[in-house]
Amino acid sequence: MSPTNPRNAMNDGILLELDRVDAFYGAAHILHGLSLQVRSGERVALVGRNGVGKTTVVNTILGLASLRGGQVRVGSQILLRPRPYNAAQNGVVVVPQGRRIVANLTVEENLLLGAATGRPGHWTVPRIYELFPILQERAHTPGTALSGGQQQMLAVGRALMANPSLILLDEPTEGLAPVIVDQLAVIFNQVAAQGTALLLIEQNMSLVVRVAERYYAMAKGAVIAQGAVHDSRESLQDLEAHVMV
């Protein structure tokens, strides 16, 4: 297993913490002293333009980018060398950019993959079908035969099947029509209302103001601003200004 700090972190409600993280791909230095935190039940957004390092935050948590400074904490564990299984074991699940639905598996088989961690909880296939009725209608259809919006619902449902404490949503509205984005906003709020924390990595600021309670804004691999999100035109304009940096 990946080494962890021998002294577990206190049970203080923190589900995810990056503390002054420096991360690299090979010799390329991508994250520069980045810090962020998500607590139990929170809805947090990470915003910024393409190329500022938002997905690298996810990849650092999963150990796909090289952590060479600072530390990553997932649940109660401080990870010295993060690995993909560490996150899932500690209740943090990623809905990846591009959805990554497994080809040649049905909708229901894709959902069942999410339960592989064996974490107990209230999310089951019937509960997922209550949240996403279209998935029940197409349960025996190949997952990759779904529309883009339906595939995103499947990716979220698969993540919920792991009964996570926190879901990381990496650009969940990419390539989707506005009406589907509206549906996802409702769904994300329903998921949060049932106790699952969210880290929403997103450029669609109209979604952010409808879902998130607070935000971190990134530029050039670092957090440049943070604050509360309000569902208002002023808050939307403020966030859009950060994304343009």
CATH topology for 43-61+91-243 is: Rossmann fold (3.40.50)
Specify the amino acid at residue 168: L
Is 67 strand, coil or helix? strand
First to last CA, the chain: 40
Window from 6-20, 41-55, 94-108, 202-216 with minimum mean pLDDT = 6-20
Per-residue model confidence (pLDDT) at position 86: 87
pLDDT tens digits for 210-233? 999 999 999 999 999 999 998 766
Q: What is the dihedral of CA 25, 72, 92, 152, to 10 degrees?
A: -30
Taking the C-alpha atoms of residue 42 and residue 214, their distance in angstroms, rounded to an integer, is 9
pLDDT band at 96 (very low <50, low <70, confident <90, very high): confident
What does the mean pLDDT of the chain come to?
89
The position carrying tokens 């503390």 is 19
In 3D space, the residue among 67, 93, 90 whose CA is nearest the CA of residue 80 turns out to be 67
The rounded distance, in Å, linking the Cα atoms of 126 and 145 is 21
- Predicted confidence band of residue 78 (pLDDT cuts 50, 70, 90): very high
Q: What is the structure's pLDDT at 170?
A: 93
Average pLDDT over residues 148-157: 92
How much of the chain, in percent, has pLDDT values that exceed 70?
Answer: 93
Note the pLDDT of residue 245: 63
The fraction of the chain above a pLDDT of 90, given in percent, is 68
pLDDT of residue 232: 64
What strand order describes the sheet that includes 166-170?
92-95, 166-170, 197-201, 43-47, 214-219, 222-228
Q: What's the average model confidence in pLDDT over 11-36?
A: 94
Sign of CA dihedral 183, 184, 185, 189: positive
**pLDDT of res. 209:** 92
Among 143-147, 173-177, 227-231, the range with the most confident prediction by mean pLDDT is 143-147
Residues in CB range of 53: below 8 A, 6 or more apart:
23, 30, 31, 34, 218, 220, 221, 222
pLDDT at 11: 56
Q: Residue 27 gets which letter from DSSP?
A: T
What is the C-alpha to C-alpha distance for residues 64 and 61, in angstroms, rounded to an integer?
Answer: 8
pLDDT range class, residue 8, cuts 50, 70, 90:
very low
